[in-house]
Amino acid sequence: MPRLTDPAPRPSPGPVVALDIGGTKIAGALVDGEGRVLARSRRPTPAREDGETVMKAVEAVLGELAASPLWEAAGAVGIGSAGPVDASRGTVSPVNVPGWRDFPLVERVHRATGGRPVTLVGDGVAMTAAEHWLGAARGHDNALCLVVSTGVGGGLVLGGRLHPGPTGNAGHLGHISVDLDGEPCACGGRGCVERLAGGPHIARRALENGWRPGPDGDASAAAVAAAARAGDPVAVASFERAAQALAAGIAATAALVEVDIAVVGGGVAGAGEVLFGPLRRSLRSYATLSFVRNLTVVPAATGTDAGLLGAAAAAGWASSGPDS
């Protein structure tokens, strides 16, 4: 098998091709060494279709990028994909894209891009690469980054470098257990961080405890966040419980590998102080040893392009490159 996922050669001097593949959209871009998006393309993910149909959408995105005059200079491809991914085999099996199971995405993108080298990482690792390159973890040699949305993902920077692990999933904090006898999780485990802090679970817990959506019927975590900001005690409590779970997971990670910053992004992080207030407080009660006590928690800074920038970073810019 060609060693497509070996560290990509430093792309120079042109941009890299970045792909951000999720359950709702497939985004692509040409990204330069400063993190500027020079061209972009986007398609909805035909997530309920067969695997080849999903791949056609990826190829359509790549086709639009290939129409750019900058395409010929682009040297490498980075992919951040919804997980699970297996970077060692170059395959993806995104939970929300049932048509892709052990789908050979790296080989297919390698072929679709004229033989360019392809690097694959999970979306949590991609976001981590973006935050370390251009965002809130910049300048931190040991960092944990979290994506808190429908699911809870994450990634690690250790010793100044992105640490994707053998299969590209290292730092996947959502499925470590913080509640030994807790509720069963979709992953087969029990009491996982995601089961307590994922957006749908924040909303579910609020509803179970008596919170009711407003006249618009919006029962999302964002609606619970709005209620919490307005002082609804049940909504506040649901976010506090989520924050507690995240804090326990972050503190455990810090004790394990000595990170000094935790960056939290994703849709649920958009709740702002409703989440970050109790998160900082909870962290003080879980991260107590001298070497984790100075751990700080901050919101992510790379915004909606985090996936694309992270894919570009993983392809050779920034944290995995020699010039970082």
Residue 280 Cα distances to 8, 96, 249, 265, angstroms: 38, 32, 13, 15
The stretch among 90-98, 174-182, 229-237, 307-315 that binds Zn ion (CB under 5 A) is: 174-182
3-state SS of 22-60 is: CCCEEEEEEECCCCCEEEEEEEECCCCCCHHHHHHHHHH
**Sheet hosting strand 152-158, strand order edge to edge:** 161-162, 152-158, 143-148, 261-265, 296-299
The stretch among 52-60, 181-189, 218-226, 274-282 that binds Zn ion (CB under 5 A) is: 181-189
Pick the binder of Zn ion from 130, 185, 242, 264 (CB under 5 A). Answer: 185
Q: Of 132 and 175, which has the nearer Cβ to Zn ion?
A: 175
Residue 293 Cα distances to 19, 71, 180, 251, 300, angstroms: 37, 47, 24, 9, 21
The answer to whether residue 270 forms part of the interface with Zn ion (CB under 5 A) is: no
Q: Of 174 and 321, which has the nearer Cβ to Zn ion?
A: 174
Rounded to a whole number of angstroms, the minimum distance from the CB of residue 221 to Zn ion is 18
Pick the binder of Zn ion from 192, 227, 300, 314 (CB under 5 A). Answer: 192
The answer to whether residue 187 forms part of the interface with Zn ion (CB under 5 A) is: yes
Pick the binder of Zn ion from 46, 165, 182, 189 (CB under 5 A). Answer: 189
**Which residue from 224, 181, 182 is spatially nearest to 202, judged by alpha carbons?**
224
The stretch among 22-30, 143-151, 188-196, 287-295 that binds Zn ion (CB under 5 A) is: 188-196
Rounded to a whole number of angstroms, the minimum distance from the CB of residue 178 to Zn ion is 11
Q: Which amino acid is residue 68, in one-letter code? A: S
The answer to whether residue 172 forms part of the interface with Zn ion (CB under 5 A) is: no
Rule CB under 5 A: which residues touch Zn ion? 175, 185, 187, 189, 192
